[in-house]
C-alpha cells in the first residue's frame, strides 16, 4: 500500500542517509506486536529501527500516517481485535533493541530489507529469523514483488508476484505464493558447469564491488550478465533455482548486520545451498548485531562452491597485489 502511494512525507533520512519510510517503522511495529502476542513469555527481538527519529519535532505527520497504516493492517487481517495508540506503536518499535548473542533465543528482523529498492518500486523483503544459542533455526522471507516464475524470465511482466519463503532447520525450504495457493518445496539449482550458471549481486555498489564480481564471473566462464536486485529476495530467488550464485563483496569498512542475512541464509541452506564468507567459513550469527567476516559472502550450490571459492580467492589476491 505504501509503495503504491509513496508520498514525499513518508521518506526520512537516517544519519547514514539511507531512506527509511513509514513502511519500515510500521512493519517493525506489526511484527513485534504479533510476536509478543504469540510468544509472550520468551521475547527478544534484534531489529533495525528505533523510534528516536519519530519522536522528534516535525515527525508528527509521518507518525500519524504510520499509526493509521498499522491499525488498518491489523483490522484488515482480523486476527487481533485491537486498535493501537501511537505510544503503543512506538513502544513495539523500540522492543527491537536486543543485542542478540550466543545465549538464549532471539528473533532477528529487517522490517524492510532493500529500502532503496522499495522506494524505486523494485524488490524488497521482510526478513525474520529465529536464533537459538547463536544458530539460525527458522527463517521467513516475504518478497511482495518477486514474480512467481523465475526473476530471470523477463518476458512476462504481467505474471503474478508476491511470495513467502520459509525454512526450519532440518525441514527444507518452502515457497508460499501470496495468492493463497499451496506451499511448494524448493531446491537450489543443480547446475554443475559454471558456464551455465547465472549470478545475482546487490543493486547498490556500496554493498558489492561490481568490478570484482565481473572478474570472478570471467574466471568461471559465466556467460549470462549479472542480475542486480535489492534485498534478501536474492536468497529467495536462489533457493528456488532462479540463479546459481550470489556474491556480496562490499567495500572496505562495511560491516554486515545479522538481520541482512539470517533469514536468507537458512532459506538457501535448507534448499540445499551453501553460504560462507570469502574465506569459506560459515556465517556466525552468535556475536551480536554484526557478522565479522572475511571480505564478503558467497552463496551457491554444493557442486559449484569449490570452483566459486577458488575464483573468489584468486580475484581477491589479484586485487590486493595490484593496490
Question: Is 276 one of the catalytic residues?
Answer: no
Give 13's strand partners: 19
Give 125's strand partners: 113
- Using CA atoms, how far residue 114 sits from 57, 129, 249, in Å, is 27, 16, 17
Residue 118, classed as helix, strand or coil, is helix
Residue 98, classified by CB atoms within 10 Å of its CB into exposed (0-12), middle (13-18) or buried (19+), is middle
113 annotated as ligand-binding: yes
Helix 210-220 × helix 305-322 angle, to 10°: 130
Residue 78, classified by CB atoms within 10 Å of its CB into exposed (0-12), middle (13-18) or buried (19+), is exposed
Active-site position among 10, 21, 24, 230:
24
Residue 100, classed as helix, strand or coil, is coil
Active-site position among 21, 67, 115, 276:
115
- Say how far apart CA 153 and CA 214 lie, in whole Å: 21
297 annotated as ligand-binding: no
159 annotated as ligand-binding: no
Which residue intervals of 124-168 are DSSP H helices? none
SS (H, E, C) 27-90: HHHHHHHHHHHHCCCCCCEEECCCCHHHHCCCCHHHHHHHHHHHHHHHHHHCCCCCCCCHHHHH
61 annotated as ligand-binding: no
110 annotated as ligand-binding: yes
Q: Name the binding residues for Mg(2+).
A: 48, 110, 112-113, 260
Residues annotated within the binding site are 48, 110, 112-113, 260
Active site residues: 24, 115
Amino acid at each position: 500500500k505504501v509503495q503504491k502511494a509513496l508520498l514525499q512525507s513518508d521518506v526520512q533520512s537516517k544519519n547514514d542517509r539511507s531512506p527509511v519510510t513509514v513502511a519500515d517503522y510500521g512493519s517493525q511495529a506489526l511484527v513485534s506486536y504479533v510476536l509478543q502476542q504469540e510468544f509472550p513469555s520468551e521475547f527478544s527481538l534484534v531489529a533495525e529501527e528505533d523510534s528516536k527519529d519519530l519522536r522528534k519535532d516535525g515527525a508528527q505527520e509521518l507518525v500519524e500516517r504510520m499509526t493509521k497504516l498499522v491499525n488498518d493492517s491489523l483490522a484488515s487481517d482480523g486476527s487481533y481485535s485491537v486498535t493501537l495508540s501511537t505510544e503503543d506503536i512506538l513502544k513495539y518499535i523500540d522492543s527491537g533493541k536486543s543485542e542478540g548473542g550466543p545465549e538464549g533465543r532471539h528473533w532477528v528482523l529487517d522490517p524492510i530489507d532493500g529500502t532503496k529498492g522499495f522506494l524505486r518500486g523494485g524488490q524488497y523483503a521482510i526478513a525474520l529469523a529465529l536464533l537459538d544459542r547463536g544458530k539460525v533455526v527458522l527463517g521467513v522471507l516475504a518478497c511482495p514483488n518477486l514474480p512467481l516464475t523465475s526473476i530471470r524470465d523477463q518476458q512476462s511482466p504481467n505474471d503474478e508476484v508476491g511470495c513467502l519463503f520459509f525454512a526450519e532447520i532440518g525441514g527444507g525450504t518452502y515457497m508460499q505464493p501470496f495468492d493463497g495457493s499451496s506451499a511448494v518445496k524448493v531446491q537450489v539449482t543443480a547446475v554443475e558447469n559454471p558456464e551455465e550458471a547465472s549470478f545475482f549481486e546487490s543493486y547498490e555498489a556500496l554493498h558489492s564491488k561490481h568490478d570484482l564480481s565481473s572478474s570472478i564471473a570471467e574466471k568461471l566462464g559465466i556467460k549470462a550478465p549479472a542480475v542486480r536486485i535489492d534485498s534478501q529476495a536474492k536468497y529467495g530467488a536462489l533457493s528456488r533455482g532462479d540463479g546459481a550464485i550470489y556474491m556480496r563483496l562490499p567495500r572496505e569498512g562495511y560491516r554486515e548486520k545479522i538481520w541482512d542475512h539470517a533469514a536468507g541464509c537458512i532459506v538457501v541452506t535448507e534448499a540445499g545451498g551453501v553460504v560462507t564468507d570469502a574465506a569459506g567459513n560459515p556465517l556466525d550469527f552468535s556475536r551480536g548485531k554484526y557478522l565479522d567476516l572475511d571480505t564478503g559472502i558467497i552463496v551457491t550450490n554444493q557442486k559449484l562452491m569449490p570452483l566459486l571459492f577458488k575464483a573468489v580467492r584468486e580475484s581477491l589476491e589479484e586485487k590486493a597485489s595490484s593496490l
